[in-house]
Amino acid sequence: MSDLEGMSQNIRESQLPGESDGSFNMSAESVFPLNTSEHEPEFSSNKSLSGRQVAWRRFKSHRLAMISLIFLVLLVIVVSFANLIAPYGYQVQNLHQLLKGPSLAHWMGTDNLGRDEFSRLLYAGRISLLVGLTVSLSSGIIGTLVGAIAGYYGRWIDNLLMRVTDLFLTVPLLVVLIIGSTLLSGGVLGIIIILSLFFWMYAARIVRGVFMSLKEQEFVESARSIGSSHLRIIVLQILPNAFGPILVCMTLGVAQAILTESSLSFLGFGIQPPTPSWGNMLNDAQDYFQSAPWLLLAPGIAILLTVLAVNFVGDGLRDALDPMQTPHRLKSQVPEAMAEIEGGYDEATA
């Protein structure tokens, strides 16, 4: 999908409509909850669930997200132990078995060099997942830094940083990645670096939104009035509120990164052979898609399922952290359940 570099994927699910000119001003509160539990008025009979517990409960109720999470965990385990699970090495060529279809010996067939597709898939999975995770993490950190500074200090710093962010956002992604990878000569590390350089903007915008909406609130003013340094306020007071949105953003970023890497490698500019990645496996499959369609299906479906799973998890996270939505479970049960409580409610409070 990252073919449409910088295109609507810019939006990301985690953003909400806001003003999309330079002075981006999204009120994160309307999207994500604030961790203001220490500032809420206390209710007489307390023991309300902590934010995290509520969030976990809601996440669990999102079935697709749970399934996806399990799938991903299994995937990570399998891929990490690729060298134990894979029947062959990813470079082992069997020249007698070129372009053979799936069989007992080769679960997903062989490619034009006689290499076992299944094993390649597993090893490639390592690379693709590694890239996805690291890119998301590092770009998340960069983005948080930028967003926090911009959102907190405001004015010209904010203006400048936002202009830079916008600049990075509007360059066509694949183009700069291609150019960048030519500069850095695509080792895995190089790809990670170049990708991270162009993924931080989303986190930056979100974090900036959180900071802008929170920095005027009373608890910040109280902290300032007792002499907390700016750093303390940023890190201890405001930043924790941004964890939710950042987490969602980073999760979705993993999906994006995997897709982008696969596109890049497909074009021949990403991870270079012989290192396998799902992207360059797609490239290899291109020439033989008529005669050996399994070569296409294996990496393609792998990417699809992984990205889909990550997206579902991200969506589940977002639902779990947003206080203004009714959980799906409750909603569907409402009419019947409502009828039940007539008369039964009073006993509960006695």
Partner 1 sequence: MTKPLLEVQDLEVTFATDEGFVRAVDGVSFTVMPEQTLGVVGESGSGKSVTFLAIMGLLDRGNVRVSGRVLFKGTDLLALSEKEWRAYRAERIGMIFQDSLTGLNPVQRVGNQIAEVEIAHRSGTVDASRPWVRHKKAKGNAVELLRSVGVADPESRARQWPHQFSGGMRQRAMIAMAMSLGPELLIADEPTTALDVTVQAQILELIDDLKRRCGSAVVLITHDLGVVAEHCHDVMVMYAGKSVESGESDEIFARLGHPYTRALLRSMGRLDQPKPRRLETIGGQPPSLARLPTGCAFHPRCPFAMPICRVEPPPLQGTVQGHHFTCHVAGGVAKESDPSVSSVTISMPSSSGDVIESSAETILMKARGLTKYFSVRQGGLKKSATLRAVDGIDLDVRRGRNLGTRGRVGLREIFIGSSAHATPRTDGRIARIQWCGHSRERSSGVKARTSRDTNGLSGSLRIPKSSKDGRLNYCGTLKSSQCASQA
Partner 2 sequence: MLRLIGKRLLFSIPVILIASGVVFVVVHRVVNPTAYLALNPRSSAANTQRLTAALGLNKPLLEQYFVWLRHFFVGDWGTSLISGQAVARSVGTALVNSLILGGTALVIALVIGMAVGTISAYRQYSAFDNMATGMAFLGLSIPTAFLGLLLQLLFGVYLVQHLHLNGPLLYISGMSDPGSTSFSFSSLLRHLALPAFVVAVQILGVYSRYTRSSMLDVLKTDYIRTAKSKGLSSTRILFRHGLRNSMIPLTTQVALDAGVLVGGLIVTEQVFQWPGMGTYFITAMNNGDYPQILAWLMVTVTAVILFNLLADILYAFLDPRIRYV
Per-residue contact flags (x/-) with partner 2 for residues 25 to 54, judged by CB under 8 A: -----x------------------------
Q: What are phi and psi of 226, to 5 degrees?
A: -95, 10
Which residues lie closer than 8 Å to 48 by C-beta, 6 or more apart? Answer: none
The residue among 39 and 63 lying less far from partner 1, judged by its C-beta, is: 39
Task: Please report whether residue 285 would count as binding partner 2 according to CB under 8 A.
Answer: yes
3-class secondary-structure state, position 111: coil
Task: Please report whether residue 296 would count as binding partner 2 according to CB under 8 A.
Answer: yes
Task: Please report whether residue 259 would count as binding partner 2 according to CB under 8 A.
Answer: yes
Task: Please report whether residue 324 would count as binding partner 2 according to CB under 8 A.
Answer: yes
Which residues lie closer than 8 Å to 322 by C-beta, 6 or more apart? Answer: 31, 32, 33
Site size toward partner 2, by CB under 8 A: 60
Q: How far apart (Å, rounded) are the C-alpha atoms in residues 305 and 311?
A: 10
Judged by CB under 8 A, the chain residues 51 through 110 that form the site for partner 2 are none
Among 49, 73, 85, 175, binds partner 2 (CB under 8 A): 175
CA atoms within 13 A on the CB side of 287: 9
Judged by CB under 8 A, the chain residues 134 through 163 that form the site for partner 2 are none
Q: How far apart (Å, rounded) are the C-alpha atoms in residues 282 and 297?
A: 9
Task: Please report whether residue 6 would count as binding partner 2 according to CB under 8 A.
Answer: yes
Among 37, 103, 159, 170, binds partner 2 (CB under 8 A): 170
Which residues lie closer than 8 Å to 130 by C-beta, 6 or more apart? Answer: 188
Q: Please report how close the Cβ of residue 247 comes to partner 1 at its closest, in angstroms.
A: 19
Q: Which does 49 bind (CB under 5 to 8 A by kind): partner 2, partner 1, none?
A: partner 1
Task: Please report whether residue 250 would count as binding partner 2 according to CB under 8 A.
Answer: no
The residue among 165 and 237 lying less far from partner 2, judged by its C-beta, is: 165
Q: How far apart (Å, rounded) are the C-alpha atoms in residues 285 and 13?
A: 31
Q: Please report how close the Cβ of residue 19 comes to partner 2 at its closest, in angstroms.
A: 7
Give residues in contact with partner 1 (CB under 8 A).
39, 41-49, 54, 57-58, 216, 218-219, 221-222, 224-227, 323, 326-327, 330-331, 334-335, 337-338, 341-342, 345, 349-350
Q: Which does 44 bind (CB under 5 to 8 A by kind): partner 1, partner 2, none?
A: partner 1
Tokens 């090495």 belong to residue: 89
Q: Which does 334 bind (CB under 5 to 8 A by kind): partner 2, partner 1, none?
A: partner 1
Q: Which does 227 bind (CB under 5 to 8 A by kind): partner 1, partner 2, none?
A: partner 1
* CA separation, residue 217 to residues 66, 251, 335 (Å): 36, 29, 39
- Cβ proximity of 121 and 298 under 8 Å: yes
Task: Give the Cβ contact number of residue 281 at 10 Å.
Answer: 29
**Residue of 133, 131, 116, 121 lying closest to 82 (CA atoms):** 121
Q: How far apart (Å, rounded) are the C-alpha atoms in residues 306 and 239?
A: 30
- Stretch of 4-12, 40-48, 76-84, 187-195 lying at the interface with partner 2 (CB under 8 A): 4-12
User: Counting beta carbons within 10 angstroms of the beta carbon of residue 160, is it exposed (0 to 12), middle (13 to 18) or buried (19 or more)?
Assistant: exposed
- Interface with partner 2 by CB under 8 A: which residues? 1-11, 13, 16-22, 30, 166, 170-175, 178-179, 182-183, 255, 259, 262-263, 266-267, 279, 282-283, 285-286, 289-290, 293, 296, 299-301, 303-304, 307-308, 311-312, 315, 324, 328, 331-332
